[in-house]
Amino acid sequence: MSSTAPPSDGLDHVDERLLRTTPLKKLLARPELGSVVGAIAVFVFFSVAADSFLNPSSLGTVLYAASTLGIMAVPVALLMIGGEFDLSAGVLVTSSALVSSMFSYQMTANVWVGVGVSLLVTLAIGAFNGFMLTRTKLPSFIITLGTFLMLTGLNLGLTKLISGTVSTKTIADMEGFSSARKLFASQLTVGGVEFKVTILWWFALVALATWILLRTRFGNWIFAVGGGADAARAVGVPVYRTKIGLYLGVAFCAWISGQHLLFSFDVVQSGEGVGNELIFIIAAVIGGCLITGGYGSAIGSAIGALIFGMTSKGIVYAEWNPDWFKFFLGAMLLLATLLNAWIRKRVEATK
């Protein structure tokens, strides 16, 4: 075959032993495939079950629900690909909002100062998680379970100590509130439908995370530390720095999420956020992340979040009792995971 047209470079060179892979088959090999199938199924289901589900205005609502979760599902997915968990991610969002609000209220007149301080504090907590993990070599499940409980207690205790109640004081009349609100909690109207700005944040983060994962050295290291930390260390990958970086990523997104919470509701309830950490993990797993690390995608986590948004709002549109929501979420998780495993087996077998 080389006699007809020798390949000019290795890129165009196609091995004759390779059967031609159709684009469809390539698509099937993507980690997020199971979640795409699941998302379509959920979409069709609620389109039939709820008349108002297909209204354009519903789109904005569903996407908003998906984005608030999706912003956190992205870094949690990256962390899971890197082989670790963060159970403190849910309450960290609340901590970030509380710090921002209370620092602004107590110390200054400008909310932007609080926003900045909150970023530093949140990143410090993320760094704490990362350093504890790499120093003690304990499982991240234990470490972040500890931070989760400590933060839950601190959120309630400190808020009561400083504000006197379980929620923060209003900061709506303070300087910079409107500009901060514009950044973290404004709405855009496109074609008569209202979209929250968090949707933009979410899309941007998914794009950024995908870029990092697939096209940077750091992304290569994330896959490596999750897929085989010892092998990665043996070839000179900075395993500890990579893991700490991933925890900082979770903290950064918790900060964005927390500021959204603060500037859309003005006051923050200190008991919020408990239980959300599991929903972030669920979104990542539905999206095709391997719970043992080394495999997954940021786009998958976004689709997982979208399934969450469609289910939580679809039940409302179908006028069912929202008590059923958790049942649906659990069933989705099981189905998506089974589907992922089955598809991966099929794809690997046909290779």
Query: Distances in Å between the alpha carbon of 176 and those of 164, 261, 273?
Result: 25, 16, 26
Least Å distance between CB 228 and another protein? Answer: 4
Question: Binding marks (x or -) toward another protein, 273..302, rule CB under 8 A?
Answer: -----------------x---xx-------
Instruction: Work out whether 230 is an interface residue with another protein (CB under 8 A).
Output: yes
* Contacts to another protein from residues 98-127, by CB under 8 A: none
Closest listed residue to residue 201, CA positions, set 189, 185, 213, 214: 185
Run of H or E including 196: strand 193-196
Least Å distance between CB 307 and another protein? Answer: 24
Residue number, 294 or 304, with CB nearest to another protein: 294
Binding residue for another protein, selected from 1, 5, 11, 24, defined by CB under 8 A: 11
Least Å distance between CB 343 and another protein? Answer: 15
The residue range among 177-185, 187-195, 225-233, 249-257 that interacts with another protein, by the rule CB under 8 A, is 225-233
Whether the Cβ atoms of residue 302 and residue 77 lie closer than 8 Å to each other: no
End-to-end CA distance of the chain: 23
Instruction: Work out whether 237 is an interface residue with another protein (CB under 8 A).
Output: yes
Instruction: Work out whether 6 is an interface residue with another protein (CB under 8 A).
Output: no
Query: Distances in Å between the alpha carbon of 263 and those of 49, 183, 184, 188, 205?
Result: 34, 9, 7, 16, 20
Q: Quick one: 230 exposed, middle or buried, by C-beta within 10 A (0-12, 13-18, 19+)? A: exposed
Whether the Cβ atoms of residue 222 and residue 213 lie closer than 8 Å to each other: yes
Residues of this chain that interact with another protein (CB under 8 A) are 9-11, 13, 15, 17-18, 211, 215-217, 219-221, 223-224, 227-228, 230-232, 234-237, 290, 294-295, 348, 351
